[in-house]
Amino acid sequence: MPKAALKFYANAVFFGALLLAVLSLHAFYPTYLGRLGKPLPWMMHLHAVLMAAWLGLLVLQSGLIRRGNVSLHRTTGRLSYALVPLLLLTAVAMIAYSYERGLGELREAAEAGRLSLSGEALLHEARKYVALPVYYFVGFALFYSLAMLNRRRPLVHAQFMLATMLMLTGPILDRSLYFTASVAMPELRFPFEWVAFILADCVFAAVLVLNLRRGASWQPAAFCLACFLAGQSIYRFGLDSRAWQSTVGLFF
């Protein structure tokens, strides 16, 4: 059963990462790929290259497990020790860029009279603006760290790597759905981020049930699911709280 379970997780990450790689071409065309001939921040280019490299590494690593090549999987996995810190640094830079851009748009709207906010109220809204990328950043960093700490426990490691991959689903799937809807149904107003939220919840609810049924350790899946639900609850109910506003304010 452990080998079958490990192959299940490897298949999930392999095909999931491939799908995300293809979907990202559509998701980032309007805001990045279609604007490569225009001036863009250099950090955006670096982040895109590192993210593409990470998706490629996910495909490679899960593919090696599918073929039973554990030794090469471990060797090539060491590349992530350099790749992921750089990816996280560029992610912080991109969140800061999004914050500044969002704050600028809010100020322009206030100056034009389209928004009746000023001063601290503008900062309050800008801190809410970056909630989604912060959620994915924290989740990615947390699950990757736990995956590496448990690299000698293959089934636990695989579950945390699956959770790490799901942290990439939101930024890609959200944009793809949003841009598709903006063309097909421009009047539609829908929180597309909840599609990725619910997908991640359902995946790990299923993993939890499977682990319970086969008598395997249920704690990793339960922990991941609890983290998803906690982050989603903060996103839905906690962005106006003093805790969120103060924490984000420390960084921006």
Q: How many structural domains is the chain composed of?
A: 1
| pLDDT of 226 higher than 70 | yes
Tokens 């909630």 map to which residue? 131
H helix count then E strand count, the chain: 10, 0
Tell me the DSSP string of 157-217: HHHHHHHHHHHHHHHHHHHHHHHHHHHH-TT----THHHHHHHHHHHHHHHHHHHHHHT--
**What is the spatial distance between Cα 96 and Cα 70, in angstroms, rounded to a whole number?**
38
What's the confidence (pLDDT) of residue 216? 85
Percent of the chain residues topping a pLDDT of 70:
99
The range of the structural domain enclosing residue 29 comes to 2-251
Give the phi and the psi of residue 244 in degrees, each rounded to 5.
-65, -50
- Cβ distance 55 to 17 under 8 Å? yes
Q: pLDDT tens digit string along 45-60?
A: 999 999 999 999 999 9
Give this prediction's pTM.
0.92
Among 141, 45, 139, 21, residue whose Cα is nearest residue 94:
45
Tokens at 55, concatenated = 């998706």
Q: pLDDT tens digit string along 136-193?
A: 999 999 999 999 999 999 999 999 999 999 999 999 999 999 888 877 777 777 888 9
